[in-house]
A and B are shown apart, each in its own frame.
Chain A
Amino acid sequence: MGELLHVEAGRMGRVAYGRIAPNEDLVQSVEKLCLAQGFRCAFVRGALGSLVDACLLQRDGSCQTVLGPAVEIVSLAGEVRPHTDGSLRAALTGVVSDPNGRVYGGPFVAGANTVCVTFEITLEEWLPDNPIQVPAFAVPLPSPHTTGDQSEQSIE
């Protein structure tokens, strides 16, 4: 108890549909679609397609890999919000099915979920009554973790 429920009032704005090509990352492509459309905040209103392999974040911080060559996305929900440094971040969770129809679920790890054949997504722009204040052209400082081992990536 004691936590305040935060309610953000606003309205839906424009609707955008995007088709993402093979080998592009799902999470970052959703962010790029928002960049292309000028959306600062958006909700996913429809999404289906396939991934090469799925990488889903587990509760212990590890990644569960579901092998393709085609892992179908059968459910997806998410939103895009501006990060404190002014960049855009998509948070996407969902359920995927492997080539035998077995299902797995979790958050999609950015940079590790590439599109297999195609991915269709519909985004609806979210316009908060009080626009989120973030630096318009902020350049984030490089993290010491981003140098060195190229196999390391953010798990967001």
Chain B
Amino acid sequence: MPEPRMALPRPRTLVHPGPFSPRRIEHMEAAGGQHLRLSIPPQAILHDALVDAMSRHGVACASMTLIGGHFSTFSFCFAGADPSGEAVVRYSAPMTSQSTRLLFGNATLGKSQQGRPIVHCHAVFQTDDGVIAGGHVLTDRCRVGHTPVTVLATSLEGFELRLQVDEETRTPLLRPLPEPSHG
């Protein structure tokens, strides 16, 4: 049977400010990962609670799914065009919603250029005025409300995710890299 076909929109090829990198997919693998279920309690700051919980299990890098929960303070921003032209995209100013329901989110735990834990998080949520929206979550400004936030984490082991400025996009991005040897 022939597959259904139709005309599709022509994808746009964006021109980023830096040199085109020949490496289009950077990847690393591990033999397996730990699976952890977290329940982030009321009053906790999301970033701190994720980092602390994972650290207690010896996990420095992970992929996480935020299944749901409630926040008494929720901070986020959207991505849009960068009017300065320094990059193609930049984040909007932070916005804050009070009583906010998290519907679904994904987060990555990695390391800053200095080796400190960082969390990159996108989510869809319902703000205090009832609007359902999606965007980049500022996890260090999000406080859990009356319902715990449930998180499923898969550890990434044998390599690390480290923030580096990407030359092509001139944006700090997480990259999978071999773990530095000690000694």
Contact = CB atoms under 8 A, between A and B. Distances in A.
Interface of A: 12-25, 29, 32-33, 36-37, 45-50, 52-53, 55, 61-63, 65, 69-70, 72-76, 95-97, 99-103, 109, 111-114, 116-118, 120, 122, 124, 143-145, 149, 151-156
Secondary structure class of chain B's binding surface, majority of residues:
strand
6 contacts: A23-B14, A37-B29, A73-B122, A75-B105, A152-B7, A155-B4
A61 B121 contact: no
A116 B88 contact: yes
B30 A62 contact: no
A112 B108 contact: no
A122 to B, nearest CB: 4
Contacts of B60: none
Interface string B101-112: 001111110000
Interface residues of B, number: 66
Contacts of B171: 117-118
Contact of B25 (A19, A103, A111, A114): A19
A14 to B, nearest CB: 5
Contact of B89 (A37, A61, A70): A70
Interface string B27-50: 111111100000000000000000
B81 A17 contact: no
B176 A19 contact: yes
Given A48-B120, A50-B79, A70-B79, 4 more contacts: A47-B106, A48-B122, A52-B12, A112-B9
A19 B108 CA distance: 12
Given A101-B135, A117-B169, A53 B29 contact: no
